[in-house]
Structure 1
Amino acid sequence: MPIDPRHLLSRSFPVIDHDYTLRDTQLYALGLGLGADPLDAGQLRYVYEGQDGTALRTMPTMANVLAYPGFWAREPDTGITWQKLLHAEQEIHLHAPLPASGRVRGATRITGLWDKGAGKGAFLQQTRDITDAATGQLLASVVQLSLLRGDGGFGDGGSEGAPPAPHAMPDGAPDQVCELATPAQLALIYRLSGDLNPLHADPSVAAAAGFSRPILHGMALMGVAAHAVLRTVLAYDATRFAGMRVRFTAPALPGDTLRTEMWVRGETVSLRTTAVERGVVVLNNARVSLR
C-alpha cells in the first residue's frame, strides 16, 4: 500500500530533551578515533577536560546524536517500508558552538518528500532543530535525506520541486590529503553514543545483511571526515566549522584507513573519503562550510 504523503509531511514528533555530560562528549570523540595520539594537543581538546575541567571542546558533528528522535520510520503510522530505507545524505548547520555539556531540546519535522516513481522509490527529508533547553538559543539544525526504496509511486501530495542536488566537486588534484587509521573496535565505541543498531556490533546480523563483518556507522564516518578537516585545514579550531554535508556512497568498515581528499575554495572545503585498503569511495560530493 502506498504511503500517504500528506500524513508524512504533517506528521508530528515529540519534542525531546537530552541531558549530556562532559563524559558523553569525550566518549563521542573517542568513537571517532580522536585521542589515538594521546600526545597530540589538538586531539586532546576533544577528549580531555583539563585540570580545571573547562578545557573540553565539542566535535561539531556531535549535533548528529543530540536529541535524536530514533528510528521513527518503523512506526506503523508512517507506512514506510523501513527495511528498504537507505540513509543517502546528512547535513548539519551550526548556529552557535555546541556546549561541552548541558541540556538541549530537539524538534523534528518532515521538510521534503519527493516521488521518484513506481519501482524507483522516493526521497524523504527530515530536519531537527536543536536548541539550548534553558535559553531557547538555536544551536544546530540537522538535515537527513533518506531514500525510501520501496515507497515510490504515491503520486500527488509530495513536495514541489526536487530533492537537493549533490554538492559539485571541484576539478583537479586536492589541496590537502589526510589519512586517519580507524581501530577495529571503533563501531563498538561509537554505538555507545546512542546508535545501538546491531548491524554495527553483531557479526551474525552483519552477515545476514550481506556484509563480511559489522560496518561502521555512517555518522561515525562523517565524524572521521570532519576530524580530517579539523586536523588538516583548521588546526583543530572548531569555532570556524559552520556546517557539513555528506553523501554516503559505500559502507566503511572499522579498521579501514580513511583517506580524505580536500579542495579548499574560500569558505568551502569540498571533500571525498576513500577506504584505502579496499579502494572504495565511502563519502563523496561532501563539503564543510567555514566561518
Structure 2
Amino acid sequence: MPLDYERIKNWRFADTRHSYTQRDSILYALGIGLGSDPLDPSQLQFVYEKQLQAFPTMSSILCYPGFWMQDPATGINWVKLVHGEQRSIWHRPLAAEGVLTGKTHISHVIDKGADKGALVIAERNMYDVNNTLVATIQQTTFCRADGGFGQGNAPVAALPRVPERAPDYRRRIPVAPNAAILYRLNADPNPLHIDPQTAAAAGFERPILHGLCTYGHAARAVVQDCCDNDPAVLYRFDARFSAPVYPGETLLCDIWREGADQIHFQVSVQERNVVVLSNGYAALRGTQ
C-alpha cells in the first residue's frame, strides 16, 4: 500500500539527548572488532581508557530516534523495510565521552514506483553541550512495499561507483563468531541478530551481522590504511548495504585512493564472494 507522502515528510521527532561514557566508546569499539590484537597500539587507543579516542562511526548509534517506522500511524509496512544506505559527516572529531543532542527530520521521500517501493531518508544532526554541530547522519530506508504514491522528492545524488582498476589496498578483516551478540549491546537488540529461529523465519540460515557493524569494520580499514590510524582525519564515510554478513565470515575491504583526500571502497565476503557494502565513498579532513 502506498505511503502518505505528506505524513512521512512532516513526521515530527522529539530531540534526543544522549549521554555516553568512555565505557560506551570502548563497548562500541569492541563491537566492530577493535582490540582483537591487544598488543596493537592503533587498536588500544579505542579500547583502553588511557588517552581513549572514540571511533568515528560510533555516531551511527548515538541520538538514535528509535524504530519510528514501526508506529502504526506511519502506515509503512515495516516488516519489509531494508536499510539501504548510511552516510556520515563529522564536522569535528567525536569525543570519547560527552552529551549530544540529536535533531532528526525527514529530508527526502522518494517514490520508486508501485512495484518498486520508496526511499525515506532521515537526517540526524548531533550537537554538543555548546550547541556546536558535531556530526550529520543520513540513513536511507528502502520501504519495499510502500511505493506508488505519485509524488515526492527528487532522488539524492547517487554514491559513486568504485574505480575499475585494481585497488590500492586490500584489508582482510575476520569477523568474530560472536560479533553480532556483542554489537547488539550498543543499540540494536533486534532478535534477528541473535535468535536462530527469528533468523530462519526471515529467510536466513542463521543470525546475521548488523549492517552498521559491517559499516564500522569497513571504516576501521580506511582509518588504518588511509588515515595513519588517526580517526580525526576521517571526515565523511558513505556506503550502500548490498547483502548481509554472517558472524564468523571474513571481510575483504578493497580501497582506492583518488588524489590526497578522496577514497572509494567496497567490502565483500571472502567465503561467499558476495559484495556486502558497495559504492563506498570516504573523504579525509581537508576536503570540506
Corresponding letter in the other structure for 1:192: L
Residues 177 and 262 in structure 1, CA contact (< 8 A), matched pair in contact too: yes
Using the alignment, how far apart are the partners of 1:122 and 1:2 within structure 2? 9
Using the alignment, how far apart are the partners of 1:234 and 1:103 within structure 2? 26
Using the alignment, how far apart are the partners of 2:115 and 2:165 within structure 1? 37
Residue correspondence of structure 1 range 134-283 to structure 2 within 5 A: 134-156=129-151, 158-159=152-153, 161-266=154-259, 267-283=261-277
- Aligned residue pairs: how many? 284
Shift of residue 2 of structure 1? Answer: 2.7
Residue correspondence of structure 1 range 82-161 to structure 2 within 5 A: 82-132=78-128, 134-156=129-151, 158-159=152-153, 161=154
Give 2:52's aligned residue.
Answer: 56
SS in 2 for 1:106: strand
Using the alignment, how far apart are the partners of 1:33 and 1:94 within structure 2? 21
2:24 counterpart of 1:29: no
Give 1:286's aligned residue.
Answer: 280
Corresponding letter in the other structure for 2:280: A
Residues 2 and 145 in structure 2, CA contact (< 8 A), matched pair in contact too: no
2:12 counterpart of 1:12: yes
Please, which of 56, 69, 72 is the counterpart of residue 76 of structure 1?
A: 72
Q: 5+ unaligned residues in a row in structure 1: which ranges?
A: none
Using the alignment, how far apart are the partners of 2:95 and 2:23 within structure 1? 13
Residues 258 and 275 in structure 1, CA contact (< 8 A), matched pair in contact too: yes
Corresponding letter in the other structure for 1:234: C
Deviations 1:14-38 (A, max 9, x none): 1010111000000000000000000
Using the alignment, how far apart are the partners of 1:202 and 1:183 within structure 2? 17
Q: 5+ unaligned residues in a row in structure 2: which ranges?
A: none
Using the alignment, how far apart are the partners of 2:117 and 2:83 within structure 1? 13
SS in 2 for 1:142: strand
Shift of residue 231 of structure 1? Answer: 1.4
Residues 159 and 281 in structure 2, CA contact (< 8 A), matched pair in contact too: no
Shift of residue 288 of structure 1? Answer: 1.3
Corresponding letter in the other structure for 1:140: A
Residues 179 and 257 in structure 1, CA contact (< 8 A), matched pair in contact too: yes
Corresponding letter in the other structure for 1:22: Q
SS in 1 for 2:46: coil
Over the matched positions of the two proteins, sequence identity in percent amounts to: 44
Using the alignment, how far apart are the partners of 2:13 and 2:157 within structure 1? 23
Shift of residue 62 of structure 1? Answer: 0.5
Using the alignment, how far apart are the partners of 2:230 and 2:258 within structure 1? 18
Deviations 1:211-258 (A, max 9, x none): 111100000000000001111222210111001000011001111111
Using the alignment, how far apart are the partners of 1:208 and 1:3 within structure 2? 26
Using the alignment, how far apart are the partners of 1:2 and 1:211 within structure 2? 27
RMSD: 0.9
Deviations 1:9-61 (A, max 9, x none): 111101010111000000000000000000000000001011xxxx0011110
Deviations 1:133-186 (A, max 9, x none): x21110000001111110011113x11x22331322112000011101111000
Using the alignment, how far apart are the partners of 1:257 and 1:276 within structure 2? 6
Using the alignment, how far apart are the partners of 1:247 and 1:225 within structure 2? 12
Using the alignment, how far apart are the partners of 1:238 and 1:162 within structure 2? 31
Residues 126 and 144 in structure 1, CA contact (< 8 A), matched pair in contact too: yes
Residues 42 and 235 in structure 1, CA contact (< 8 A), matched pair in contact too: no
Residues 123 and 163 in structure 1, CA contact (< 8 A), matched pair in contact too: no
SS in 2 for 1:27: helix
Give 2:42's aligned residue.
Answer: 42
Deviations 1:69-112 (A, max 9, x none): 11110001111111111111000000011110111111110000
Using the alignment, how far apart are the partners of 2:103 and 2:155 within structure 1? 24
